[in-house]
Structure 1
Amino acid sequence: MDNGQQMRITRRAYELWQQAGEPKGRDEEFYRQAARELKEGANKSNEGNSPASDCKGRL
């Protein structure tokens, strides 16, 4: 994992922690959730990058 990706996860985990009311002792839970969210977001953005999707609307 590169440093930029780790920083994005950390920032998102902090946002989630704040939204939950800043509970003590749940930092790992929020970190895992943030990593999962960012991974899912990356997967969704890559789904539209197939060669077949590039041809949509042009045929």
Structure 2
Amino acid sequence: MSEPTEQEIRDRAHRLWEQAGKPKGREEEFWHAAEQELRNEDKASTLRTPDTL
């Protein structure tokens, strides 16, 4: 499981900020939300391993 890159976080944070109507002064909030979303996606993908028989 790898950590999201700064660019991935930046892109996701920007998308979240746009979806929220581009509010001023909430950069950290969107950065942390983006970081958390990306980490959760990574965790979810490791849970989806194919069954081996």
Q: Give the TM-score, by structure 2 length.
A: 0.83
> Is 1:9 equivalent to 2:9 in the alignment?
yes
Shift of 1:42: 0.1
| Larger relative contact order, structure 1 or 2 (CA cutoff 8 Å, min sep 6) | 2
Alpha-carbon distance in 2 for matches of 1:21, 1:30: 12
Q: Give the TM-score, by structure 1 length.
A: 0.76
Structure with the higher helix share, 1 or 2: 1
> Is 1:54 equivalent to 2:51 in the alignment?
yes
Report how many residues are paired. 52
Query: How do 1:24-35 and structure 2 match up within 5 A?
Result: 24-35=24-35
Contiguous gaps of at least 5 residues in structure 1: none
Identical positions, percent:
40
